[in-house]
Amino acid sequence: MVEVFKTNVRYKKYARKVVTEILNHFPELLVSFDLKDCDNVLRVEGSDIKENRIKNIVNAEGYLCEALV
């Protein structure tokens, strides 16, 4: 299963911090950013993705996050 989120994370150092925080909660997931994409995409891959919890983690770091359909 793959979920893709639109974010306003713009820089690698902040993306790394967000990825680390997500992995602290969900170490079994594969998490990455594509900051070259116009939507600064956060890609999360795994068998049990909690969309709302991912959004809450990103929001708690001070960034916007919404699922792309």
The predicted model scores a pTM of 0.94
Place of tokens 């969900």: 26
Place of tokens 């790394």: 16
Domain of 60, in residue numbers: 2-67
Non-local (6+) Cβ contacts of 14 within 8 A are 61, 63
What pLDDT, in 10s, does the model give residues 58-68? Answer: 999 999 999 99
Across-strand partners of 32? 43
Q: Count how many domains the chain has.
A: 1
Q: Which helix (H) or strand (E) holds 62?
A: none
CATH code for the domain in which residue 40 is found: 3.30.70.100
Amino acid at 23: L
What pLDDT, in 10s, does the model give residues 1-35? Answer: 999 999 999 999 999 999 999 999 999 999 999 99
Non-local (6+) Cβ contacts of 68 within 8 A are 4, 5, 6, 39, 41
